[in-house]
Amino acid sequence: MASKGQVASQSTTSEDLAGPIEDTAKKIAMLTDYRGKLEELRGGKNSDLDTLLRITRELAQVQSDIEALNGSKAQLVERVETEILNVSIGSSSIQSSFEPISDAASAFGGHLAQAVAVIITVVSFLLPWGVLALLVTWIWRTLRKRREARRRGLDR
């Protein structure tokens, strides 16, 4: 695929199921051995009816467990034998000539808010300097008017 275009991403994952399969096989072997021993007890001639009933119930439970484990083992083996391949292919779209205009229009609100924020920041920096400039100008004019008033008073 890399020869036909650029590969954007690639990943590989795997799961080791050998351990769970081996554990399941061991459990099946243990239950099968236990089932054989229960069948020997059931075949014994010294058992009373109550013991036979308990052995039969236990045999049914063990057989059910063996079948459930066989099903689990079959699913695990099937997962090992099955390969899953997920492929996602995408393409980049060709940009139309009006797309820059639509991008600019969609970003208008954000740009306007950013411009207003810059103006507020500039005003907050210039405001103290403006007040200082007005104060200096007022003092300078006041002093100038006093000088001119003294000159006029002296000239008369």
Cα 110 from chain centroid?
Answer: 27
Interatomic CA distance for residues 34 and 59, integer angstroms: 9
Asked if 62 contacts 34 with a C-beta cutoff of 8 angstroms, the reply is yes
Contacts of 35 (CB under 8 A, 6+ apart): 59, 62, 63, 66
Residue 27: which pLDDT band, with cuts at 50, 70 and 90?
very high
Q: Is residue 8 part of a domain?
A: no
Mean pLDDT of 22-28: 93
Residues 63 and 114 placed together within one structural domain of the fold:
no
Mean pLDDT of 45-67: 88
Q: Is residue 138 part of a domain?
A: yes
> Is the pLDDT reported for residue 80 higher than 90?
no
Residues 22 and 77 placed together within one structural domain of the fold:
yes
Residue 122: which pLDDT band, with cuts at 50, 70 and 90?
very high
Q: Is residue 92 part of a domain?
A: no
Residue 112: which pLDDT band, with cuts at 50, 70 and 90?
very high
Phi-psi region of 152 (alpha: psi -120 to 50; beta: other; left: phi over 0): alpha
Mean pLDDT of 114-138: 95
Residue 17: Cβ within 10 Å count: 14
Q: How many domains does the chain have?
A: 2
Interatomic CA distance for residues 149 and 39, integer angstroms: 132
Report the mean per-residue pLDDT for the chain.
86
Q: What is the pLDDT of residue 138?
A: 96
Interatomic CA distance for residues 66 and 2, integer angstroms: 49
Contacts of 80 (CB under 8 A, 6+ apart): 17, 21
Residue 98: which pLDDT band, with cuts at 50, 70 and 90?
confident
Q: Is residue 2 part of a domain?
A: no
Q: Is residue 10 part of a domain?
A: no
Domain of 126 in residue numbering reads as 108-155
Q: What is the pLDDT of residue 150?
A: 87
Interatomic CA distance for residues 63 and 48, integer angstroms: 22
> Is the pLDDT reported for residue 65 higher than 70?
yes
**pTM for the predicted model, two decimal places:** 0.46
Q: Is residue 91 part of a domain?
A: no
